[in-house]
Amino acid sequence: MSNSSSIHFEISERKILLRLFDLLFVGLSLYLVSTIFELEYFNIREHQWTWFIVLALYISLFGTVFELYDLQKSSKLETVIGTVLLTTSVTVLFYLLTPFYTPVLPEKRLQIIYFYLAILFGLYLWRWFYITFIASPRFYKRVLLVGETSNITSIIEAFKSADPNYKIVGFINCESKKKDAIKFNGLPEYAPNSIHQIIEEEGISEVVIASYNSESITPSIYSDLILLLEKGFPIKEYTQVYEDITYRVPVQYVGKDFYKYFPFSRNNKNKLYLAYRRGFDVLLSIIGILMGFILLPLVLIGNLIGNRGPLFYTQERVGENGKSFKIFKYRTMVKNAETKGAVWATKNDSRVTRFGRFLRVSRFDEIPQFFNILKGEMSMIGPRPERPYFVQELSQVIPFYETRHIVKPGLTGWAQVNARYGSSIDDSLLKLQYDLYYIKHRSFLLDINIIVKTLSTVIFFRGQ
């Protein structure tokens, strides 16, 4: 059986395409502008490859910071316009201010305008082409689900929100022969004996097995799946697809065979990696403390006007291996905010002061935690440390919640840059999925990715 009729690009392939063709179109645009308008500032025909290498690094860096490579945003022209403009503006600014490795500023300032417009045009042209052709339905990955209807709704929503090009076209219900079978109306349901026909007619690229219990798969469906596998057709288990697409570990789907889902990163025990992490933490914590001292006068004035009370406060949090420690923060709430006991912080929380709200959205309230990092109680990157009361509450309702404590808590982390502020059990479940993904895959490259995404979070004021 052949599925060549269905052409699609994987997530990693689309991200590589976006980055490579950004640079290709910018290079072509600069070449055309340098030819037509005699762009002397940046003449791509000369053998000055360092000029383009520096430009490529800036486009890639600031494109990541301003979410130019976010697949959801990259598939919509209305969101791409703003990110391309931001990326181009900041890239050109930094490029002009970079000495030695970039051209000397031209006497004719019009040359800078040509340079700016060439980059802008190149990026816009490629993104229009990508949205019109690559991100169009003709290149969607068409998927057939095989499983129980009890899983389907949450799986569809997770896949849809993570990858706009991942199209589930229908499902085969393994529970169909049960008397109490639940029907699902959100997708076409196909008969179990029509799996080969559906793959041919619908141009299916992949079959995903979405079943809690493998025994629910009937012998006839099992035989069909074996036959497909022997012909080289892609068949995947839904928890692995979920993790690959969403970058989260789906703990809510993990059963008694949990050990299959937690082959944690070897870097959790790698002494060289841990030594690098500690050196990285010490260096950044010292820089953060110095920056904190520079900003302290402004924070003191803001606290005097908008907070009217103590500037600092400490709170007990759960750290590595379940050990408690005192976390340092700038106070953002009114004094005695929890006289009736611990409660969830919410969006637009009335307990947050005017200046406290600014501290939260700018993330300045986290600056004192650099002392916790320097002391070794926290790391720069890791799961956010939670209060003992909430840890006890959440560990009773969310499976594997305390697994997040096998590493040091962090000032920032994979959950912090991908999920909103936790204000409910559902939010905590989502953040746990991201935390476990980080623990499972943490590496130098993932750490760098988190640092860059943290810059996006700060720039776009996504704190609470």
Query: What average pLDDT score do residues 124-143 get?
Result: 90
pLDDT given at position 228: 92
Neighbours of 398 (CB within 10 A): 17
Segment 370-397 shows an average pLDDT of 94
Q: How far apart are CA 11 and CA 17, in angstroms?
A: 10
To the nearest whole percent, how much of the chain has pLDDT over 70? Answer: 88
Give residue 184's pLDDT: 60
| Interacting residues of 393 by C-beta distance below 8 A, sequence separation 6+ | none
With 60 as the cut, is the pLDDT of residue 28 above it? yes
Which pLDDT does position 255 carry in this prediction?
66
234-266 pLDDT, tens digit each: 999 888 888 888 899 888 777 666 777 777 888
Q: What is the pLDDT of residues 308-366, one digit of tens each?
A: 888 998 999 999 999 999 999 998 888 766 666 666 666 667 788 888 888 888 889 99
Domain edges within the chain: 11-134, 140-246, 266-459
Q: What is the pLDDT of the chain when averaged over all its residues?
A: 86
> What pLDDT does 43 receive?
73
How many other C-beta atoms are found inside a 10 Å radius of the C-beta of residue 190? 20
Under CATH, domain 140-246 is a member of which superfamily?
NAD(P)-binding Rossmann-like Domain (3.40.50.720)
Place of tokens 């179109």: 25
Residue 186, pLDDT > 70, answer no
pLDDT at 151: 64
Q: Distance (Å, rounded) from C-alpha 192 to C-alpha 226?
A: 14
Task: List, for residues 359-375, the tens digit of each pLDDT value.
Answer: 888 889 999 999 999 99
Position 338 scores a pLDDT of 67
Express each pLDDT in 265-298 by its tens digit: 888 888 999 999 999 999 999 999 999 999 999 9
The tens digit of pLDDT for each residue in 43-101 reads: 765 567 888 999 999 999 999 999 899 888 888 888 899 999 999 999 999 999 998 88
Identify the band that residue 211 occupies on the pLDDT scale cut at 50, 70 and 90.
confident
Residue, of 106 and 261, whose pLDDT is higher: 106
> Could you tell me the pTM of the whole model?
0.83
For residue 185, is pLDDT > 80?
no
Contact criterion met (CB below 8 Å) for 263 and 239:
no
Grade residue 179 by pLDDT with cuts at 50, 70 and 90.
very low
Q: What is the pLDDT of residue 59?
A: 96
| Closest C-alpha among 358, 382, 357 to residue 369 | 382
Is the model more confident about 19 or about 269?
19
Q: Look at residue 147 and tell me whether its pLDDT is greater than 90.
A: no
The answer to whether 174 and 144 are in contact (CB under 8 A) is: no
Between CA 293 and CA 279 the distance in angstroms is 22
pLDDT band at 117 (very low <50, low <70, confident <90, very high): very high
Q: Which residues pair with 318 in a beta bridge?
A: 324
- What's the pLDDT at 348? 65
pLDDT bucket at 2, cuts 50 / 70 / 90? very low
Closest C-alpha among 106, 28, 18 to residue 64: 18
Six token digits for residue 207: 């079959």
pLDDT in tens, 400-455: 899 999 999 999 999 999 887 666 788 888 999 999 999 999 999 999 999 998 98
d(CA 432, CA 202): 36
State residue 181's pLDDT score.
47
| 226: confidence class by pLDDT, cuts 50, 70, 90 | very high
